[in-house]
Structure 1
Amino acid sequence: MSLPTRARSSAALVLAGVLWGTGGLAGSLLGGLSGLHPLAVADYRLLVGGGVATLFVLLTGGTFPRTPGAVRRTLAVGGLFALFQASYFAAVALSSVSVATMTTIGAAPVFVTLASVRKLRRWTVVSVAGTLAGLVLLQWSPGEAISFGGLGCALLAATGFAALTLLTAKPVEGLEPLSTTAFGCLTGGLLLVPVASWSGMAIPLHADVLALVCYLGAVPTALAYAAYLRGLADAHPVLGSLSAVLEPLTAAVLSAALLGERLGVTAWCGAAVLVAALVVGYWRPEPR
């Protein structure tokens, strides 16, 4: 891979991770203002994100998937979106946000590495190990009880995200990254509707609530996943999964800056370790 191509793919992956981090804050605010269950928030995220991206694709001359390969890819991506979101929020309900996030985002690079790398390189091991250590420090909660149900759901979510990363790293003819995001998110959102409806999906029609719904769907979902899938087209899947750790890092920094949540010394050390692990991953990426 040439240096400009590598730089563009790395920038796309970094953008995706940072935008996902803003989604955590937006989703939390939306849940607080609307009273929605986290699963309903996730479903609105997929439905609105998929709808906005689909409208953009169609208005710019794109079409719905037509070839058998594109249709199969869209259904697979939609199913993995639904699995990832449902499992993650089940993990949140059974444990906590910190444990669910740490387990999901921390396990995904391990799963991707084991599935895609035939021979582990030293720098890959260092980067993955540093990522796990940084996540533990960033979201460390001493004395928090372990929920094996929550842990299992978080690992299932990590499996779904890892499968999505590995699947979309291989392009399909007639299906660009934005189209994959658009139709995949919309399909995943429709698959989640029956489950999310059980928790209630009615929202107050207030300007601030509607603005958050639009932002959550358009920016940290449609734009972020389009950037992620674009970056994966020219980067190794391991690097893509490592980029996802920017989500909890960004969320932690934004919460401290905007909500006044104080980060302790341990959390800041974890943030530093995460950044160092990502630098190693970008500096010494696995060959494709």
Structure 2
Amino acid sequence: MNARLGLLQVCAAGVLWGTGGLVVTVLHERDGVGAMTVSAWRMLIAAVALVAFVQLTGRARAVRDTMRSHPVAAIVIGCGTAIYQGLYFVSVLMVGVSVATVVSLGLAPVLAAAWEHLRAGTRPTLRDVAVLTAALTGLVLISATAGHGTSAPGDRPVLGLVLAVAAGATYAATTVLGHVLAPRLEPVALTTCATGAGAVLLAPFLVVAAASGEPVAGTSPTSLALLLYLGIATMALSYGLLYAGLRTTSGSAATVATLVEPISAAALAAVLLGERLGAAGLVGAALILCAVVALRPEDERPVAA
């Protein structure tokens, strides 16, 4: 039961991430706020919210213990998360959201699974290959047919592809490292430390935006509410769920489970923007969901003799 709950927690994180893309698009169209500026606010708001939550719930000692026992790993996870966001957003501008999503999200489970099998000296089973194939096929179908966000490639597609590959590799690495740390640490403490490190890394983008005269943030109540939602729901809450789930879910399984993100994004676009996925998109969503259902948490995997 705990293992399945962990997998559901990872899926819930993916659902929340799927709502973030549309919010970033709305903020950009309403107020002209750049993607990296929004990412910096997202991390900063999440860090402040987590610190407040830690103080209110008496978890300050757990945060201090995390920084004493695993300072480098927690900072690497946080900085890796921030770097992944930046690489992904820039690649979207260069090659379009569909290509960037397929390359970055599709590469992550492949790299995570390859690393885990290499470290364990094992080979993937037919079940593992089938689950991964179904998930990646579904990702391609739903990304190719979804209309939300920009889909027009920029003038540097090769660099955009390189950045998308780097984003996928970074996402895989931080997820695998998170799986190593999660069973040893309190999830909220790990989330707080990692998010704080990411906020420090991205904070200079706010200074650069202000110095260059670009919009730093919207001033309307709606824009402020959207920023708060991004920080609290799609960062603080979602990553808390991710690290809680990673206690019983491997890095490779987690990267597959979070492929529900484009399903969530497509569903939200359908409700709010009236967009339709079409038959191919629906098949893609079904394949991803089937792959997630077929995943086996760690304590359900057969133990080698």
Aligned to 1:36, the other structure's residue is in SS state: coil
- The one-letter code of the counterpart of 2:197 is T
Aligned counterparts of 1:62 and 1:70: Cα–Cα separation in 2: 16
Worse-superposed segment, 177-186 or 238-247: 177-186
Aligned counterparts of 2:196 and 2:37: Cα–Cα separation in 1: 14
Is the CA contact 1:84–1:161 (under 8 Å) kept in the aligned structure 2? yes
Is the CA contact 1:39–1:86 (under 8 Å) kept in the aligned structure 2? yes
Is the CA contact 1:6–1:235 (under 8 Å) kept in the aligned structure 2? yes
Aligned counterparts of 1:212 and 1:169: Cα–Cα separation in 2: 30
Match of 1:50 among 42, 47, 52: 47
Is the CA contact 1:49–1:221 (under 8 Å) kept in the aligned structure 2? yes
Aligned counterparts of 1:72 and 1:58: Cα–Cα separation in 2: 23
Q: Which runs of 5+ in 1 are unaligned?
A: none
**1:167 aligned residue:** 177
Please report how far the alpha carbon of residue 247 of structure 1 lies from its aligned counterpart in structure 2 after TM superposition.
Answer: 0.7
Is 1:71 the counterpart of 2:81? The answer is no
- The one-letter code of the counterpart of 1:194 is P
Q: Which runs of 5+ in 2 are unaligned?
A: 146-150
**2:295 aligned residue:** 281
Q: Cα RMSD (Å) of the superposition?
A: 2.4
Q: Given the superposition, is the C-alpha separation of residues 231 and 144 from structure 1 closer, same or farther in structure 2, using an over 3 Å criterion?
A: same
Please report how far the alpha carbon of residue 287 of structure 1 lies from its aligned counterpart in structure 2 after TM superposition.
Answer: 5.6
Please report how far the alpha carbon of residue 33 of structure 1 lies from its aligned counterpart in structure 2 after TM superposition.
Answer: 2.0
**1:30 aligned residue:** 27
Please report how far the alpha carbon of residue 78 of structure 1 lies from its aligned counterpart in structure 2 after TM superposition.
Answer: 1.7
Please report how far the alpha carbon of residue 194 of structure 1 lies from its aligned counterpart in structure 2 after TM superposition.
Answer: 2.2
Worse-superposed segment, 91-100 or 216-225: 91-100
Is 1:215 the counterpart of 2:215? The answer is no
Q: Given the superposition, is the C-alpha separation of residues 195 and 283 from structure 1 closer, same or farther in structure 2, using an over 3 Å criterion?
A: closer
Is the CA contact 2:33–2:218 (under 8 Å) kept in the aligned structure 1? no
Where does 1:135-284 land on structure 2 (aligned, <5 Å)? 135-140=139-144, 147-171=157-181, 175-195=185-205, 197-199=207-209, 200=214, 202-282=216-296
Please report how far the alpha carbon of residue 123 of structure 1 lies from its aligned counterpart in structure 2 after TM superposition.
Answer: 1.1
Please report how far the alpha carbon of residue 73 of structure 1 lies from its aligned counterpart in structure 2 after TM superposition.
Answer: 2.3
Aligned counterparts of 1:15 and 1:204: Cα–Cα separation in 2: 28
Please report how far the alpha carbon of residue 43 of structure 1 lies from its aligned counterpart in structure 2 after TM superposition.
Answer: 1.4
Q: Given the superposition, is the C-alpha separation of residues 201 and 113 from structure 1 closer, same or farther in structure 2, using an over 3 Å criterion?
A: farther
Is the CA contact 2:182–2:247 (under 8 Å) kept in the aligned structure 1? no
Aligned counterparts of 2:216 and 2:59: Cα–Cα separation in 1: 32
Match of 1:39 among 27, 33, 36: 36
Please report the TM-score for the alignment, with normalisation by the length of structure 2.
Answer: 0.86
Is the CA contact 1:138–1:271 (under 8 Å) kept in the aligned structure 2? yes
Aligned to 1:24, the other structure's residue is in SS state: helix
Please report how far the alpha carbon of residue 121 of structure 1 lies from its aligned counterpart in structure 2 after TM superposition.
Answer: 1.3
Aligned to 2:295, the other structure's residue is in SS state: helix
Q: Given the superposition, is the C-alpha separation of residues 196 and 159 from structure 1 closer, same or farther in structure 2, using an over 3 Å criterion?
A: farther
Deviations 1:34-77 (A, max 9, x none): 21111111111111112211221122222243554332222111
Is the CA contact 1:70–1:173 (under 8 Å) kept in the aligned structure 2? no
Aligned to 1:170, the other structure's residue is in SS state: helix
- For these two proteins, the number of residue pairs brought into alignment is 285
Please report the TM-score for the alignment, with normalisation by the length of structure 1.
Answer: 0.91
Is the CA contact 2:188–2:240 (under 8 Å) kept in the aligned structure 1? yes
- The one-letter code of the counterpart of 1:110 is V
Q: Percent identity?
A: 31
Aligned to 1:234, the other structure's residue is in SS state: coil
**2:148 aligned residue:** none
**1:92 aligned residue:** 92
Aligned counterparts of 1:172 and 1:231: Cα–Cα separation in 2: 8
Where does 1:10-29 land on structure 2 (aligned, <5 Å)? 10-29=7-26
Is 1:59 the counterpart of 2:56? The answer is yes
**1:81 aligned residue:** 81
